[in-house]
Structure 1
Amino acid sequence: MSSSFDRYQKRKLISSYFSVVISIALVLFLLGCLGLLVLNAKKVADHFKEQVVVTIFLNDSAKEVEINQLQKSLAMAEYTKKTVYVSKEEAAEFMKADTGEDFMDFVGYNPLQNNIEVYLKADYVTNETLDGITEELANKQFIEDIRYDNDLVELMNDNVKKITFWVLIVSALFTVIAVLLINSSIRLAVYSKRFIIKTMQMVGATKAFIRRPFVFKSVQLGVIGAIVALIGMALVLYYLNRTFPDLGFVQNPVLLAILFAGIFILGIIITWISTFIATQRFLNLKTDQLYY
C-alpha cells in the first residue's frame, strides 16, 4: 500500500516538474524568437528596401562610351549597391518569358529601350535621395527618362517605422508576460509543498535552510527549460537561414551568442526570483492560512 502511494507521489512530482519545464521552455522560446525578430528586423527591412529599382531609360542615340561612363559613375556613387545594364534585346526576352508570347510578332519591331537598373543601399531609399538622383541625371541628353515607384518607397518607409515601434512595444509586453507566466508556474509548484515548508519551519529549520532546496530545484528546472528553448531557437534559426539565405540571419554570430546567453540567464534569474518570493510567502503564512 505504502509502495503504491510512493509511486503515485513520485509520478505526481515528475508531472509537476515536467509541466514547469515545459512552461519555462515555451515562454523562453517565444521570447527568444521575438528577440531574433528584433535583431533581424532592420536586416529584413533593408533587404526589401534594396529591391527598389531606379530605372534609367537611354536614347537609342546614346553612345556606348556614354553608357559605360554613366554606369561606372553610378556604380561608384555612395548610394549605389549595384547597377545592371539591360539592353533592349534582353528586355524583350524578359518580357517574352513573362508573357509567354513574342510581342514583336504583333508590332513588327522592338519598342523597348536600353536601360540601366540602379539598386540603392537601404539607407538611401528615400524620396529625397531619389529626387536628388533624378535632378542630377536630368541634364544628360542621352537619358530619355528616369522611373521609380515613388508611392512604394514612401509606403515602405512609413511601414518600417510603424513596425519597428510596435515590435519594441510587443517585446516589452511579452517580456513582462513571460516573467508572470514563469512566476505562476513556479508558485504552483511551491504551493503543492506548502505543508512540507511549514512542517520544516515548525521543527526549527531556518528560512534560508528551507528555501535552499526549493531554489536549487527550480534553478535546475529553469536551466533545463532554457536549454530546450535554445534548441528550439536554433532549429528555427537554421530553418530561416536555409529558407532565406539572402537575409543572412547568422552573419552576426556575436549578437546571436549574446541573445542565446541572455535567454539562458533569464531562465535562471526568473526561476530563482520566483521561487524565492513564493517560498517566502508560504514561510510567512500562519498554519491555518495554508488551507486557503
Structure 2
Amino acid sequence: MTTSFDSFQKRRLQSSYVSVVVSIALVLFMIGVLGLILLKSTKVANHFKEKVVMTLFLKDEVTDKQTASFKEAIKKETYTSKVVYITKDEAAKTYKKDLGEDFLKFLGDNPLKNGIDVYLKAEYVTPEKMAEIEKSFEKNKFVVEVNYDKPLVELLTKNIQRISFWLLVLSGFFGLVAIILINSSIRLSIYSKRFNIKTMQMVGATKSFIRRPFIWQSIKLGLLGAFIALSGLAILIYYVAEYIPTLELLTDYITLGYVAGGVLFIAFFITWISTFFATQRFLNLQTNDLYY
C-alpha cells in the first residue's frame, strides 16, 4: 500500500515538474520572440535613418583643395556616418538619366552646383537635431544651400516613436504575464510540498535551510525551460533567416546574445523570486491553515 502511494506521489511530482517546465518554456519563447522583434526593429529603423541624406551645395568659387579640407572636417564630426562628394558634372549625368534627355542642350551651361552628401548617424536623424546641423552648415562660408527631406524625417521619427511605444507596452504586458504564469506554476508545485515544509520547520530547520533546495530545484526547472525556449527560438530564427535573409538574423551575434542572455536571466530571476516568496508564505502559515 505504501509503495503504491509513494509511486503515485512520485508520478504526481514529476507531472508537476513537467507542467512547470512547459509553462516556463512557452512563456520564455514568447518573450524571446518579442525581444527579437524589439531589437531587430531598432536596427531596421536605424538602417532607414542612416539612408537619409543632407546635401550641401557649394559655392562655385570653392576650390578642390578647400572642398577636400571641408570633407575631412565633416568626417570628423560626431554626427557623421558617411560623406560623398558629387561634382556638378556627375549630378548632371544623374539628372540626364532620370529625365531621359540631355537638359544641357537646352540650357547650354550646367546650372548645378558641386555638392557634398552627408549621411548622419541614426541617433542624429530627428527633426530637432537635423535642424541644428542645418543651421551650422548654413553659417559655413563654402555652403550656398543646405537641402534634405524634412517631411520624410518628421514622418520617419513619428512612426518609429509610435512603433517603439507599442512594442514597449507589449513587452511590459508579456513580462507581466510571464511573471504571473511562472509564479503560479511554481506556487502550485510548492503547494504540494507544504506539509514537508512545515514538518522541516517543526523539527528546527531554519527558513533559509528549508528554502534552499526549493529555490535550487526551481532554478534548475527554469533553466531547463529556458533551454527549451531557446531551442525553439533557434529553429524559428533559422527558418526566418531562410525566407528573409536581409534581416541578417544568423550573423547578428549581438542581438542573438542579448535575446539568449535575456531569456536565461528572466528564467533565473523569476523562478528564484517566485520560489522565495512561495516558500516564505507556507513558512509563515500556521499548521491548521495548510489544509485550506
TM-score, scaled to structure 2: 0.65
CA distance in 2, matches of 1:84, 1:274: 60
Alignment: residue pair count:
272
Specify the code of the residue in structure 2 equivalent to 1:48.
F
| Per-residue Cα deviation, 1:224-269 (whole angstroms, up to 9, x for no partner) | 12333444556667767953249x843589xx46x74454344223
Gaps of 5+ in 1: 96-101
Tell which deviates more after alignment, 169-178 or 77-86: 169-178
Specify the code of the residue in structure 2 equivalent to 1:154.
E
2:247 pairs with 1:250 = no
| Identity fraction in percent | 44
Local SS of the residue matching 1:119: strand
Q: Structure 1 pair 172/270, CA: closer, same or farther in 2 (3 Å)?
A: same
Local SS of the residue matching 1:104: coil
How much does 1:129 deviate?
1.5
Q: Structure 1 pair 245/290, CA: closer, same or farther in 2 (3 Å)?
A: same
Contact (CA 8 Å) 2:137, 2:143: kept in 1 or not?
no
Contact (CA 8 Å) 1:127, 1:150: kept in 2 or not?
no
| Per-residue Cα deviation, 1:168-198 (whole angstroms, up to 9, x for no partner) | 6665565444333221110122223445555
Q: Which residue of 1 aligns with 2:70?
A: 73
Q: Structure 1 pair 244/266, CA: closer, same or farther in 2 (3 Å)?
A: closer
| Per-residue Cα deviation, 1:99-146 (whole angstroms, up to 9, x for no partner) | xxx8439x9969996874432233443222234435647864xxxx75
How much does 1:51 deviate?
1.0
Q: 2:92 pairs with 80, 85, 88, which one?
A: 88
CA distance in 1, matches of 2:138, 2:211: 71
2:231 pairs with 1:227 = no
CA distance in 2, matches of 1:15, 1:115: 74
Q: Which residue of 1 aligns with 2:52?
A: 52
Contact (CA 8 Å) 1:127, 1:153: kept in 2 or not?
no
2:21 pairs with 1:21 = yes
2:134 pairs with 1:130 = yes
Local SS of the residue matching 2:133: helix
CA distance in 2, matches of 1:104, 1:202: 92
TM-score, scaled to structure 1: 0.65
CA distance in 2, matches of 1:228, 1:84: 52
Q: Structure 1 pair 75/233, CA: closer, same or farther in 2 (3 Å)?
A: farther
- Where do residues 276-291 of structure 1 align in structure 2 (5 Å cutoff)? 276-286=276-286, 288-291=288-291
- Where do residues 1-292 of structure 1 align in structure 2 (5 Å cutoff)? 10-32=10-32, 43-55=43-55, 70=67, 73-74=70-71, 76-77=73-74, 78=77, 79-80=79-80, 81-83=82-84, 85=86, 86-93=90-97, 95=98, 103-104=100-101, 116=115, 117-125=117-125, 126-134=130-138, 136=140, 140=144, 147-160=147-160, 174-195=174-195, 197=197, 200=199, 204=203, 206=205, 208=207, 211-232=211-232, 242-245=245-248, 249-250=252-253, 256=257, 260-261=260-261, 263-286=263-286, 288-292=288-292
Specify the code of the residue in structure 1 equivalent to 2:92.
K
Gaps of 5+ in 2: none
CA distance in 2, matches of 1:28, 1:72: 54
